[in-house]
């Protein structure tokens, strides 16, 4: 198949490019390089089945493709808050452009939605049927509400125009090719520990997240895209739940060195807990994460050790 990946030079997108090329597909990677890097896909540029296009998803685009994975959007809070209006445009106009293209060329289109659609959840763990608890006017809203609006557009194009959609809600995912200055917690802690700096735990560190290793997630992406039973939304993530203090302690144990833990102010609207209910993915895709946090953290430490040196 010919497959378009928007945001293909980013953390998740570049791993997806690798897997789809491995499977023998043709891949068009579209990216504006806001948080993506050429180095993430450099090893693919000489492959005749791989094409790199510098383009912004908010400007229309046309490709004859069979599948579209829409991943374009900064994912870390400092990056998506850098230009919140642009973030909202990327989610909403980017979704409209992907859906318009899917409608014209009859491609199946996949939306990388997020656990942020559940906001600061008061249902725990979060099943897909939960509508969420989201602040519409806070610092995180450009991302949360942008992604919620994108889901609405996907389902309206599906109902009104018969567009073949797949919508997944991704929970915190980590691994090699995250940016060292990305601002997300796993990369922050590992880079701080490797550089001998103190690990910056925001607030008390009692807030929880559930961390999925990138290889597990990408396997789930492809299984979901190619199944015919449901269009989503479907949660994908690792249900293992950890406090940020536990994560910091794990990183300190694995890296060693002299770093300690320091506490900084908790950002506004920071969700207190997050854990996916993945029953639907287990049942429909026969999928569940295989890489435990300790093992995934070790692989990610090894990546940052070699890329920072």
Residues making contact with ligand UDP (CB under 6 A): 76-77, 172, 184-185, 188, 200-202, 207, 209, 244, 267, 270
Q: Which residue lies nearer to ligand NAD by CB, 181 or 294?
A: 181
Assigned token pair, 136: 């519409």
Contacts of 86 (CB under 8 A, 6+ apart): none
Output the CA–CA distances (angstroms, integers) from residue 88 to 35, 140, 144, in the order listed: 16, 11, 9
Q: Which of 18, 56, 216, 277 binds ligand NAD (CB under 6 A)?
A: 56
Q: Which residue lies nearer to ligand UDP by CB, 97 or 172?
A: 172
Give 309's DSSP letter: -
- Is residue 58 close enough to count as binding ligand NAD by CB under 6 A? yes
Residue 9 interacts with which of ligand UDP, ligand NAD, none, CB < 5 to 8 Å by class: ligand NAD
User: Which residues 66-85 are close enough to bind ligand NAD by CB under 6 A?
Assistant: 71-75
Q: Which residue lies nearer to ligand NAD by CB, 13 or 119?
A: 13
Q: Which of 21, 27, 67, 90 binds ligand NAD (CB under 6 A)?
A: 90
What is the contact mask toward ligand NAD in residues 10 to 29, using x (rule: CB under 6 A)?
xxxx----------------
Cis peptide leading into residue 125 (ω within 30°) = yes
Residue from 119, 108, 104 nearest 69 by CA: 108
Q: How does DSSP assign 290-305, residue by residue? A: -S-HHHHHHHHHHHHH
What is the contact mask toward ligand NAD in residues 154 to 193, using x (rule: CB under 6 A)?
----------------x-xx--------------------
Q: How does DSSP assign 55-90, residue by residue? A: --TTS------SEEEE--S--SHHHHHHSHHHHHHH
Q: Phi and psi for 259 in degrees, rounded to 5? A: -60, 150
| 202 catalytically annotated | no
Which residues in this chain contact ligand NAD in the complex, by CB under 6 A?
A: 6-7, 9-13, 31-36, 56-58, 71-75, 90, 112, 114, 170, 172-173
């Amino acid at each position: 198949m010919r497959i378009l990946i928007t945001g293909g030079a980013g953390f998740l997108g570049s791993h997806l490019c690798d897997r789809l090329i491995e499977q023998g597909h043709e891949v068009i990677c579209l990216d504006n390089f806001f948080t993506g890097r050429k180095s993430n896909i450099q090893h693919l540029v000489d492959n005749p089945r791989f094409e790199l296009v510098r383009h912004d998803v908010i400007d229309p685009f046309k490709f004859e493709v069979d599948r579209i994975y829409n991943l374009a959007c900064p994912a870390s809070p400092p990056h998506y808050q850098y230009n919140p209006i642009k973030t909202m445009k990327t989610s909403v106009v980017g979704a409209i452009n992907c859906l318009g293209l899917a409608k014209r060329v009859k491609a199946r289109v996949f939306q990388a939605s997020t656990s942020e659609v559940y906001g600061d959840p008061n249902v725990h763990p979060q099943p897909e049927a939960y509508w969420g608890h989201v602040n519409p006017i806070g610092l995180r809203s450009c991302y949360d509400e942008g992604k919620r609006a994108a889901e609405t557009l996907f389902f309206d194009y599906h109902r009104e125009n018969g567009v073949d959609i797949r919508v997944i809600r991704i929970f915190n995912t980590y691994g090699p090719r995250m940016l060292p200055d990305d601002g997300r917690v796993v990369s922050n802690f590992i880079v701080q520990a490797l550089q001998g700096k103190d690990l910056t735990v925001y607030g008390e560190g009692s807030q929880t997240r559930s961390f999925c290793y990138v290889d597990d997630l990408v396997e789930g992406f492809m299984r979901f895209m190619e199944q015919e039973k449901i269009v989503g939304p479907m949660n994908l993530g690792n249900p293992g739940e950890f406090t940020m203090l536990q994560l910091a302690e794990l990183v300190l144990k694995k890296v060693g060195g002299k770093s300690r833990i320091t506490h900084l102010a908790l950002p506004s609207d920071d969700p207190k807990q997050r854990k996916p209910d993945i029953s639907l993915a287990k049942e429909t895709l026969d999928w569940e994460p295989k890489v435990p946090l300790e093992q995934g953290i070790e692989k990610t430490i090894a990546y940052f050790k070699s890329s920072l040196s």
